[in-house]
Amino acid sequence: MIPFIKTVLLDLQSKKLNLEDLYFILPSKRAGVFLKHHLSTLIRQPIFTPQILSIEEFVEDLSGLQTLPNTDLIFRLYETYKSLTPENEQESFESFSKWAQILLQDFNEVDRYLIPPEHIFDYLSAIIELNHWSLETNPTQLIKNHLKFWKQLKNYYAAFRNNLLQTKQGYQGLIYREAVANLESYIEKPNDRTHIFLGFNALNTAETKIIQGLLNNNLAHIYWDIDTSFIDDTIHDAGWFTRQHRTQWSYFKTHPFNWVTSHYSEEKKIHAIGIPKLVGQAKYIGQILEELTEKDTNLSKIAVVLGEEQLLLPVLNSIPKTITKLNVTMGLALQFVPLASFFEQLFVTHKNNPSQFYFKDVISLLSHPSIYPLFETDTNNVSSTIVAHIQKHNLVYLTVSELKQIASSHSESIDLLFKSWENQPEIALKQCSELIFKMKANFDNDKQNHSLELEYLYRFNILFNQLTELNSNYDYLNSIAALQTIYKKLLSSETLDFKGEPLEGLQIMGMLESRVLDFETVIISSVNEGILPSGKTNNSFIPFDVKIENKLPTFKDKDAVYTYHFYRLLQRAKNVYILYNTEIDALKGGEKSRFITQLNIEGIHNIKHKIITPEVPIIEQKLTEIIKSPSVIEHIKVLSEKGFSPSSLTNYIRNPMDFYYEKILGIKEFEEVEENIAANTLGSVIHNSLEDFYKPLEGSLLTIEHLKTFKIQIKSMVTKHFEKLYNKNGFSSGKNLIIFEIAQRYISNFLNQEIESLKNGNEIKILLIEADETIDIKIEGLDFPIKLKGKVDRIDSFNGVTRVIDYKSGKVEQNNVEIFDWEAITTDFDKYSKSFQILCYAYMMRQKKLIQLPIEAGIISFKNLNGGFLKFGKKPSSHARTKDQLITDETLDHFEIELKKLISEICNPKLNFIEKELER
């Protein structure tokens, strides 16, 4: 295969043209590197490099204008907008910038296609006036403003154009229009330049005029790269533009239309491969490359063309280690580097100029990998200390001074992160720049290699310098929101360029970088509708029918451009791998591309289709089993001596692994900040409030006066305990206020129930409140001390019957405290955990001789107060209606047998901890 560029150079040599005097004009800069390479293989003696320009560079030279960056253009357009719009009707820069980009694109198209501006803007205004939605005879102010905007477009255009021309600057379309205006004088200048245009396809009207003007004056040669299969097919989109050039250009009426090849119909191996998701495609690209490099080590013949730029990093991570040389031409978008997410979070945190910072924003910033090293000390990381403090003290909102108190040693870093930006871009830019330099100094002091992180910092430093310059040159950024808008625009256009061998090794590129280049093996990813081609995206104020009328490009032309690029990649290739995503995503891309269907219908090549799915291993659901090693047994002995609590034993019943992790390994659940008061906090507040009320009455009879006094104190008591367990003033609004009111209501309802009981002639004597007791248990076969400990919420005497009471803030029903099978009490957590706990308390009270049997034991459920005191009951069978609700020595003797069995199982070194399969 002879590459297209080389065939052009050979033809120029055959025409006896002096190569070093030629002006080569190419679709992209990238193609110029390959042109120099092919040129070096043809010359026999050193020559001066000929002039090699991209079409944009050539047109810029011809126009005499300098291209302004897109962000500067938005500021200059706003300058024009303000000068033509009454002050009371002007939008803020932030609002303006959201639609200005579309307006710039439309100005660009109008100029590149040399449309008379007066004509199109008047036409557009008339269309809008006909089509606007209001049918009222007298239009509203909204309609008037809407129509006024469209009528003003031609004025915005004219003033903006004049503004730019005065400073010899312009956007791409204006530069093209001026280049056409200067073409005649350029042609008339005495020069011996011969322009060589090669590899072009879709040309705008300005480019067409320039190239035709040079051709007609014998100052240029043009080399198309089109295959006969496309240009001779009257409906094939790949030849759409070249067919128009051949028939419409006057030059080709007297000159042959050369450089139509027939490479596409040559034998090729084409594979269409469906793979789920982007990462799946990246991994499979690595697999293809591994297979290819086993057969042929000449990597420069292979190109990986990525349909989506976010696939770049996954592909780089999937390249086989055997590939040591590669060249990435597309660059890594700066918005995908880790530092970008940090600054995004920083803008989000400061955007609304808060006086207090939400804890999640604080944790996100302090835990970010880019900032975390700033808080490193010899012994720990202060960032982790701050996060732990927030979680421990349940802080939902924090001020800068509070953060500095927690981390006084790093107050400078706290200031840089959290000191108010006061909604002023100058302060924001200054603090962001200082942060960058502080991060740089920290990396410089570290002995490890941080070259990549320093490169990120350098590029972000340039970006913030650009923002600072824009802010000082144009006084339009008057809020952090406006600054963020421009920051995002700059960030989206910036890339980190890779260093590589431009002509050696594997070539990784985007679709547009592949123009004019040829490879024997091509791997194309993301060949899905909505990506290749991109489909009906219409980012323009100009309606479709107006574009058609004025011969402006539409999405159909864009599709034809991508059709050409796609087929041109296949033209000289021998091996083609077309990858597409089988998982349809409405936002990023749909079903497999029409290009694949078209390849099938053409019937020129035999396309091999296959669907690839990742190998999913069969994962056997094995329940975890922990052997009771000597170390584990020692931990069990320590735990036994401290005492098993009823909750720890029910935890074991539910799942032995939970017991092992929590009690043996000491792994606690992660304590999250309670943004809204959690159920366990509500329960603790109710328990603690009732303890404070009833504790002074131990040994006394409960009276109605006591309860009425308690009712008056409910709010202050609940407030005190919420402040202890949650935080001060954290329950004065929103969901927390509702939960605060619920706690008061629960206690009030409970006290009302107690009052009602006393009014009905019942006698209640408070015996013990929150009785915290520990007892010894002797178990045959175990030679170490075993204790059972627990805290009973309340023991009272109700009309002479002793009651052991456990409070529950959740909902409990009567059937939750009834059993019929003693053996099931230590195996069935869902049915019997409540019964197990209250029997534990009764058993402990008997052992401590604090009660006289028979007694009653049960639960008072605050979510089921109407159920009253839910007494434990023993039934002869599951369906029996009768039950024994008195707890006797016989009851507790039965329970003791099962309790000892359970503790023996936990302590037995021969019985491992085996995970239970829980219902999800």
543-571 pLDDT, tens digit per residue, is 888 888 888 888 888 999 999 999 999 99
Of the listed ranges 61-70, 110-119, 149-158, 802-811, the least confidently predicted one is 149-158
Do 386 and 438 contact (CB within 8 A), yes or no? Answer: no
218 contact partners, CB below 8 Å, separation of at least 6 = none
| Whole-prediction pTM | 0.75
Number of H helices, E strands in the chain: 33, 28
Question: Does residue 920 surpass a pLDDT of 50?
Answer: no
Residues 242-293: pLDDT tens digits?
999 999 999 999 998 888 899 999 999 999 999 998 899 999 999 999 998 8
Average pLDDT over residues 454-472: 91
User: Can you tell me the distance from the alpha carbon of 61 to that of 175, in angstroms, rounded to the nearest whole number?
Assistant: 9
**Token digits of residue 852:** 């006289």
Could you give the percent of the chain with pLDDT greater than 90?
50
pLDDT band at 588 (very low <50, low <70, confident <90, very high): low
Residue 20's pLDDT band (boundaries 50, 70, 90)? confident
Per the listing, tokens 């007694």 go with 855
What CA–CA distance (Å, rounded) separates 114 from 94? Answer: 31
Q: Are strands 521-524 and 302-306 parallel, antiparallel or unpaired?
A: parallel
- Phi, psi (rounded to 5 degrees) for 2: -100, 120
Handedness of CA 101, 29, 335, 304 (dihedral sign): positive
Distance CA 814, CA 810 (A): 13
How many Å apart are CA 441 and CA 445, to the nearest integer?
6
pLDDT at 675: 57
Token pair, residue 298, equals 């000449």
Mean pLDDT of 13-26: 89
**How far apart, in whole angstroms, are the C-alpha atoms of residue 350 and residue 369?**
19
Q: Which residues contact 849 (CB under 8 A, 6 or more apart)?
A: none
Residues 6 or more apart in contact with residue 743 via CB below 8 angstroms: 682, 685, 686, 689, 718, 722
Q: What is the pLDDT of residue 148?
A: 75
What's the pLDDT score for residue 30? Answer: 82
Exposed / middle / buried, residue 447 (Cβ in 10 Å: 0-12, 13-18, 19+):
exposed
Q: Residue 213 class from Cβ within 10 Å (0-12 exposed, 13-18 middle, 19+ buried)? A: middle
pLDDT digits (tens, 9 = 90+) for 381-437: 889 899 888 887 778 888 899 898 888 888 899 999 999 999 999 999 999 999 999
Structure confidence at residue 680 (pLDDT)? 76
- The answer to whether the beta carbons of residues 851 and 804 sit under 8 Å apart is yes
DSSP string, 224-255: --EEHHHHSSTT-GGGHHHHHHHHH-THHHHS
704-725 helix and 734-759 helix, angle to the nearest 10 degrees: 160
Asked whether residue 153 carries a pLDDT value surpassing 50, the answer given is: yes
Phi, psi (rounded to 5 degrees) for 304: -105, 115
Positive/negative CA dihedral, 123, 125, 128, 134 = negative
How far does the chain reach from its first CA to its final CA, in angstroms? 61
The pLDDT tens digits of the residues spanning 760-786 come to 999 999 999 998 899 999 988 888 899
The structure tokens listed for 325 are 């040389």
What is the per-residue pLDDT for 381? 87
- Around Cβ 292, how many Cβ atoms within 10 Å? 21
- The mean pLDDT value of the chain amounts to 88
The whole-number pLDDT of residue 821 equals 87
Indicate the DSSP class of residue 827: T
Tell whether the model's pLDDT for residue 91 goes beyond 60: yes
Q: In whole angstroms, what separates CA 551 from the centre of its chain?
A: 40
